[in-house]
Amino acid sequence: MSGGVDSSVAAVLLLEQGYEVIGVTMQIWPQPDKEGACCSLSAVEDARRVAAKLDIPYYVLNFQDLFEKEVIENFCSEYQRGRTPNPCIRCNEKIKFEALLTRARQLDAAYLATGHYARVQKANDRYLLYRALDPQKDQSYVLYGLRQEQLRHLLFPLGELSKAQTRAIAAQYHLPVAQKAESQEICFVPDDDYRAFLSQRLEQKPGEIVDSTGRVLGRHSGIANFTIGQRRNLGLGNTGRRYYVLRLDPERNQVVVGEKEELYQKSLIAEDLNFIPFPALTEPLQVEAQIRYNAPRTPALITPKGSQVQVDFASPQPAITPGQAVVFYQGDLVVGGGTIVKGM
C-alpha cells in the first residue's frame, strides 16, 4: 500500500473477493513530506488511514538498506557508465517482487497484491502476463522481468479497470485517498531533478562535446548529466543548428551530438533477458517491441545471439537508449524483455 488510490482499491477488491488482506507499506527511502510521494510520511499515514477504514492489519516494512544497495547504487553507476537506467524496473526486480514477496511468503501469505495495471493468467501450466485492459494505464512494461515463481504468487486486481473506475470504487467506499493526485516522479529524486541528485553522489569529470565526425563543439560537466535524445541544456550556445545527444562515450568521456536524423537506428542489442511464455528464446520471433515507457510498440524480429538478443525493427526508431528496457509483446501478451546494450 503506497498510500495512493490504486493500491487502496486493490485492497478493497480483494476483500470483496473474500481474501484475508494485510496492508503493507515498504519504507525504502527517507524523503521530505510532499504531496503524492510514495515514501513520504503522509503516504504512510494515508495508507494507515485506508487500512483502518477497511479494518485490516497494517505494517510498515523497512527496506531502506536493500534499496540503497540494489536501486540507488545501480542508478548512479549506470549513469556513470553512460547509460540511462529505469529505477522502477530495478525496484520491482530486486525489492517489491523479490524481497517483499519473500517476506510475504515467510509470513504464510499465499499472494502479494499490488495496484499495478496488468493481468496475470495461467495457461498450460505456465503463468502469463498481459497488458491491462486500459491502455492508458497499462504498466506491463515495468513488469516484464517477472519470473514464473513470482507470477504464481502475484495478484493485480486493477488489471481490468480504468482509472476512472478505480476512483469511482474509492469514492463508493469513502476512501480518504479517492481524489489523491498521482506521483510521476522517481520516488528518491527530490523535485525530479536527477542531475542534482547525481551531483551529490558522483564525482563528475568534465570532457568534450563532439559531433559524429569527432569535431569538438564544446565542453560538458560530466556525461551523467546527459541522456540519448536530449536536445535542451547541451551547453553549446547559439550554434544556429539544433543538436541532439546521439551517444555517450564513457571511455573517452565524450558526449556525441548530431542532427535529429542521426538519432534513428534500425536495430539494437539487449541483454539480461527474461521470457515469460517460455524459458528462453531459441529461434527468431516476430513481436512488437517497446523501447521506453509510454513509447509506441513497433513490429520487430527478435533473434537469439548467445546470452543476448538482436532486435530488428520494421522501421527505424529514435533515441534507442542503453540502460533502458526493451519489452516484447504479441498482442496483449508480454513475451519478455531485456536491457538495451546498444543501438545500431
Active-site residue, from 38, 39, 76, 91: 91
Give the Cα separation of 74 and 53 in Å (integer): 38
* H or E element that contains 6: helix 5-16
* H or E element that contains 150: helix 148-151
- Can 187 be counted among the known catalytic residues? yes
Residues 6+ apart with CB under 8 A from 117: 6, 132, 134, 137, 138, 139, 156, 158, 159, 161
Average pLDDT, the chain: 93
- 3-state DSSP call for residue 214? coil
pTM above 0.85, yes or no: yes
Report pLDDT digits (tens) over 104-136: 998 889 999 999 999 999 998 999 999 999 999
Report pLDDT digits (tens) over 23-52: 999 988 765 544 545 556 678 899 999 999
- Can 91 be counted among the known catalytic residues? yes
Task: Give the range among 12-21, 116-125, 177-186 with minimum mean pLDDT.
Answer: 177-186
Domains of the chain and any CATH numbers:
5-191 (3.40.50.620), 204-258 (2.30.30.280), 264-343 (2.40.30.10)
Q: Are 70 and 86 in contact (CB under 8 A)?
A: no
Query: 313 pLDDT exceeds 80?
Result: yes
Q: Amino acid identity, residue 185?
A: E
Ramachandran area for residue 339 (φ above 0: left; ψ -120 to 50: alpha; else beta): beta
